[in-house]
Amino acid sequence: MAIQDIYPTALRLLGRPVLVVGGGPVATRRAKGLLDAGARVTVVAPDASAGLRELADAGLLTWEPRTYSSSDVDGVWFVQTATGDPAVDAQVSADAEAQRVWCVNASDHEASAAWTPAVAVVDDVKIAVNAGGDPRRAMALRDAVATALETGDLPLRRRRVPKSDSGQLNHRGSVALVGGGPGDTGLITVRGRRLLGQADVVVADRLGPRELLNELAPDVRVIEVGKTPGHHPVPQADINRILVEEALAGHRVVRLKGGDPYVLGRGGEEAEFCRHHGVEVEVVPGVTSAISVPAAAGIPVTHRGLAKGFSVVTGHEELSEVPARADHTVVLLMGVGQLRESAAALVRAGLPADTPVGIVENGYLPNQRVTIGTAATIADQAEATGVANPAVIVIGDVVRVSPFAPSHFKTADYSTTSPNKPRTSTTRVLTP
């Protein structure tokens, strides 16, 4: 049998009688699959595996502990042979053929009237793969397709939404607040990528993995609600309303955010508003820029011997409650416009003026730029080089670890294996 002879289809066996001949591991797997499809399964075999016995004892299938008889195929819709004896399997297959009943012959795939594909289920999608009678090849292909669906590399989005007899949508709308990470498309979570591939509507921020929007189907609506400092063209109240209205219309809505939706992203407000209006909402954490963007410049927010804790604030917030110490890292988000005032406030609160400060613009993107100075000099450096948002500002001794830090910052080796040893490697300096 060649693969060209196969006509792919799907059997609906709910409530229909089927026959499995054999009681070993293959028969057990096939019987379980048929039960999952809702079939009424009868197993004919002198002996049965422990798994089949358990299913029979639970009343889920009927086991006839005897040898096969030709009359066993009478009145059944489908037959699976799995005795391990080619002669018996051939007889079962011949009897089924005589009664025009589809039969899978496990002993001889070339002579089999039907083939059982390798199957995987992702959401409500069932993947079935035939591979020229090579089951291992079929399983490998099945797994690859399933992985691509689960990771969002292949779209899971519905094109035909089921309706009830009255014409109403059966599918309830939902909202997913997806943290897209700092902007690199490879840093969104697998769950976030998958939900984006299923979306009917995407409510998108200015930041985050914007390139993924180009991969959406043409009929997916993208609603732009991005904000820039001092310019909010779509107020938060309107964003909340859009999410709820689109979900109540039966759409799968993804709110695609930069970073993490619960880290200075107002995701909590959006989730609360959705739940208040009876809309199902899922929160998908993202790689927050507060930690990931410094890492893009080789700056850890904590480091043995340098800092055991860190605070994340926006440049618009008061810094009076933040520890003003070089051994406590301060991460400023959206802080470029008030950098001079923020640095001065920390110095007045006791932060040493020579504390290192790093600014990472466009983290993980091709135009990433790193500027490093001190609390006393960083504002002048930023103005001179034209630092602009999106940028993350890191204040503290952890900046010394960055490979971009000036050489005079690197007075010690802050490793965990040989602390306080002089550095021997040369470093690149990106300061003016």
Per-residue pLDDT of the chain (432 residues; tens, 9 = 90+): 455 677 888 899 999 999 999 999 999 999 999 999 999 999 999 999 999 999 999 999 999 999 999 999 999 999 999 999 999 999 999 999 999 999 999 888 788 888 888 888 887 788 888 887 788 888 899 888 888 888 777 777 776 655 555 555 556 799 999 999 998 888 999 999 989 988 999 999 988 899 999 988 889 999 999 866 555 688 999 999 999 999 999 999 999 999 999 998 899 999 999 999 999 999 999 999 999 999 999 999 999 888 999 999 986 667 888 899 999 999 999 899 999 999 999 999 999 999 999 999 999 988 999 999 999 999 999 999 999 988 999 999 999 999 999 888 875 555 555 444 433 433 333 443
Q: Does domain 291-409 have CATH number 3.30.950.10?
A: yes
Among residues 85, 143, 153, 227, which one is catalytic? 227
Report the 10 Å Cβ neighbour count for 266.
Answer: 15
Among residues 72, 200, 205, 260, which one is catalytic? 205
Q: Cβ distance 81 to 57 under 8 Å?
A: no
The pair phi, psi for residue 412, each rounded to 5°, is -150, 160
Exposure string of 319-350, with b = 16+ CB inside 10 Å and e = fewer, is beebbbbbbbbbbbbbbbebbeebbbbbbeee
Active site annotation includes 205: yes
Bridge partners of 224?
204
CATH of 3-116, one of 3.30.9.10, 3.90.1300.10, 3.40.50.720, 2.40.50.140: 3.40.50.720
CA 220 to chain centre: 19
pTM (global) more than 0.95: no
Q: In 3D, which of 44, 42, 43, 38 has the Cα closest to residue 16? A: 38
Exposure string of 85-99, with b = 16+ CB inside 10 Å and e = fewer, is eeebbebbbebbbee
Report the 10 Å Cβ neighbour count for 41.
Answer: 27
Helix-strand-coil percent breakdown of the chain, rounded to 5? 30, 20, 45
Tell the CATH topology of 174-287: Cobalt-precorrin-4 Transmethylase; domain 1 (3.40.1010)
Active site annotation includes 410: no
Measure the CA angle with vertex 178, ends 197 and 168; round to 5°: 60
